[in-house]
């Protein structure tokens, strides 16, 4: 899973899988869910992210994996 924030467009993309999306559905204004061919969720796109989610803090709890941080 990857979280990518794009400050120039104020959008946050949460990449849940390496599988490319085949279909996108807007579930509310500026929030789009991306699905692969078998209808599994592969990504979440949030426009105007700074107004919709808390970007200043990220808390990861009990993840069964290694966490890698890449500073911009």
Domain ranges of the chain: 2-52
pLDDT at res. 35: 97
Among 14, 8, 19, CA closest to 46: 14
pLDDT at res. 42: 98
pLDDT at res. 43: 97
User: Does the structure show a pLDDT above 90 at 72?
Assistant: no
CA dihedral 43, 47, 48, 53 (to 10 degrees): -20
pLDDT at res. 41: 97
Among 18, 52, 59, CA closest to 32: 52
How much is the pTM?
Answer: 0.85
pLDDT tens per residue across span 22-59: 999 999 999 999 999 999 999 999 999 999 999 888 88
């Amino acid at each position: 899973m990857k979280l990518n924030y794009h400050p120039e467009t104020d959008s946050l993309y949460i990449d849940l899988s390496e599988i490319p999306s085949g279909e996108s559905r807007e579930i509310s204004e500026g929030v789009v869910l991306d699905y692969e061919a078998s209808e599994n969720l592969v990504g979440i796109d949030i426009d105007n992210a700074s107004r919709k989610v808390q970007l200043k803090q990220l808390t990861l709890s009990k993840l069964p994996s290694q966490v890698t941080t890449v500073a911009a």
